[in-house]
Structures are given as C-alpha cells and as structure tokens.
Structure 1
Amino acid sequence: MTELLIHSQNKIRKISPNILRDTVYIVKTTGKEEFNAYYTNQEAIVIPKKELKFLTFEKRKKDVEETLIHEYLHIYTRYNIKKREELYSLIGFNKISPFLIPPEIEKIRITNPDNYELDYVIKLPNEKNVMTNYAMLLTSKYPKYDGTKGFIGAFSTLFGYLDEQIYSVNEKGEVSNNKVEIPKSVYEKTGKISSYNYGPDEIIAEAFKAMVTTDWENNKKYSKRDKEILTQIKEVIK
C-alpha cells in the first residue's frame, strides 16, 4: 500500500504538485459505514479493508492506485474553495442561495462524504425547452432502508436503491419533489469522461483520474468536449 501511495503521488506531481497536501491520512475501516466504498473525511482517505486484498495482482494495484488519485482530488477541492468554484463552473455547475431541500427528498437522500456541497446547480433545457436549474442529488428509490443482510439485501443496496435522476430547482432555490431522468443535454456540459455522474465533485475527480492515468490527448475514446474539459482542468490546477 505504501508503494501505491508513493507511486500515485509521483504521478500527480507530474500533472500538478498543487493537488497534494503536506499531510494526508490513510484510514482503514471495515467498510460497512459506506457500502465498502472509498471516501474522504477532512484530510483523510478512508479505505475499506477488502480493498487491501490481492494487491500482488497488477489489475488490483491499478484499480487501487486510480481510486487513490480520484480521492486526492476530493481533498483538494475541499480545501481550495476558489479553485473548486472554477472547476465546477467548467462543467456547468454554479452555487445558488438559498438552496432548500424539502423533507420528502431529505428523507430519502443518500449521503456522499465527497459530495458534501449540495447547493450547486446546472442549467439545462427542460421538457418544454425552457432553461431550468437542476440539482444532482443521490436519493433512494424506496422510502425505507432494509439493510444489506444476505445476498439479496446486498444486491438491492448496490443496484436497486440508488436513483440516478435529477431534481429541478425553482427561482426561489426550492428543490422540486419530482425527479426527472438525466437529459442527454447534460453531457454537452459535463462530458462523458466517466459514467460516475453523482455530482460535480465526482465528475471532476473522475476527469482528474483520467488526466493522470491515461494518454487522454491522443485517446480516441474521449470526445472533443471531454478533451476541452481536461485541458481546462489542467489549466486551473497548475
């Protein structure tokens, strides 16, 4: 693990040494608190213990290193607010105030430690082609959490609970109770660098991971918009 940390930091320094802080803590947990997912808390990267297995395999090393790079970016945006604003605006997200989540949505909202700033919206055309603010909120499909006991429970939690839709926000900053499917027009702003579209910080972190770990400038899988985003992010963080 130490080798992977050093290697990932060296790769990041080649892109921008500004991303790294003087001290970053690594915390190992059971993983049960966040569905066996990596996440950050202040200056710490929290890693579920299952992710520390089989690190002698190159594929596992690659996966862990790429995830570490993604998590470093979350810490950077947490402590560099001005840069965070610039990065979010590159993909169309801007902060609004007030930002009011109704109790019905708050009750089913799924927290994400790396997407702690919820009051950012993206302006997109609605079904009537009227430009409207939308918020990317992680919510459950169901009003009640049934736990992860057994195979069915674990499977449902990972693939059945998460509702990948967005919520409109009116001029008063009030989030609507009605969710809508993410329109294709969103990708004209956010690109399609990754399918992990769970809020602006996740989108930027995935873009940063691609920047550090791939030859993105010559990679045909990235669209013109993707490369524009990556070029702009590189400029902001240099």
Structure 2
Amino acid sequence: MSQAQIISAVLLSLRIAAVSTLLTGLLGTLLARSLSRSKKTSFRVIETLVVLPMVLPPSIVGYLLLISLGKNSWLGSLIYLATGETLLFSWTAAVIAAVIVSLPLMYQSARAGFQGVDHRLENAARTLGAHEWRIFIEVTLPLARPKLLTGLALSFARAIGEFGATLMVAGNIPGKTQTIPTALYFAAENGDHTAANLLLVISLTIGIAAMFSVNFLLDKSRTQ
C-alpha cells in the first residue's frame, strides 16, 4: 500500500467524520430536545429506532442501508431518477453510514444534557417573555454544552472507526471510499503489515485524543 493511499484514506476518514459529526450533532440535538420531555408512545418508538444501531451488529446496519439506498428501493429509485446516480459505493454513502452508527451516542449525550438542565431557569426566562427558541439558544444550550460537546467527540471517534456498515454500502475504493478501518483491514489481509501498523497508530492517536476530550469535558461538567 503506497504512502499516497494511506494519506488519502486518512484525509477521507477525517472528511467523512467531520461532515457526519456536523449532521449527527444537529440531528441528535434536535431529536433529544424533542423526545427527552415527551412520554408519548410514538416518541418512544422513534427513540428506540434512533438508538437501535448501538446494539445491532454494524454489518446488519450496513445491510439495512444497502437495501434502503439501492436502486430497487423506493428511496434509492427516487434518488436515481433525480440524479441518474446511486448513493451506494460513494463517500456520501460512507457519511450516511457514519451518521446512523454515531447518532445514538450523540442522542444519549444530548438527552442527558437536556435532562440535567434546571427547568426553573427556563421558566424564569419564560416569565420574562422570552420566546422558546431564544430560551433554547441562550439558556438550555449553554447549560447542556458539556454533554453536547461530549456527544460530538464520541460521534467523531465512532465515525472515524466505522468499518462494517461503511464496507457494506461504500466498499473499499482507494481514493474514493477507502477509509482508515477498511484500508487497515485490507492491508493486514494482504500481508502489508507496515501500512497496517501505521494506520493502527494513526487510528489509536485519533481515538485517544477523542477519549481525552470526552474525559476532560465530563470532568468540567461535574465541576460546574
């Protein structure tokens, strides 16, 4: 495996993780805000679907995405008719896979953050005539910030390490869909231990940095 392929895999992984973390952060925060305070059965069903990828094998998640995004599915056929292309075996498919598998981590962190907010402060803002969105932006989000940042760090680390679902829907195309985990897997399978060890060190470095960030944010939240 060439140095250029290794660099390409690392850069693509970072790109996929950055985009998926942005999407996961927005989606997870909005879902947590909407679902955390509701006891409706329909909302509990949605919550179950959101966190389900956390307990499913990545290959199962990947297969579900494969049949959902393929040209024979209603969603895949609409995308194909609109663009003339399929999402499968593209970096976009890798982003979707990363979002699906990392969303439970972001959702759970955001939910814990919102549930830990002192509702008396939100009610005080309401008595002063503040709109709900202003309360959310200026009161709720700052108070839940440590847990939200923790969720983002965990989501980024999960996206960087995603393998099973990504391999199912995006494959392992060098320069196009080959990420750090898939590159490491095929390097080891082909006996290229030098490349595999280098990718291992890079992956461990990113993972340790992410976990250090999570622990720092958790310690910070406990002292507030």
TM above 0.5, yes or no, is: no
Question: TM-score, normalized by length of structure 2?
Answer: 0.26
- The answer to which structure has the higher helix fraction is 2
Question: TM-score, normalized by length of structure 1?
Answer: 0.25
- The answer to which structure has the higher strand fraction is 1
Give the greater-gyration-radius structure (CA): 2
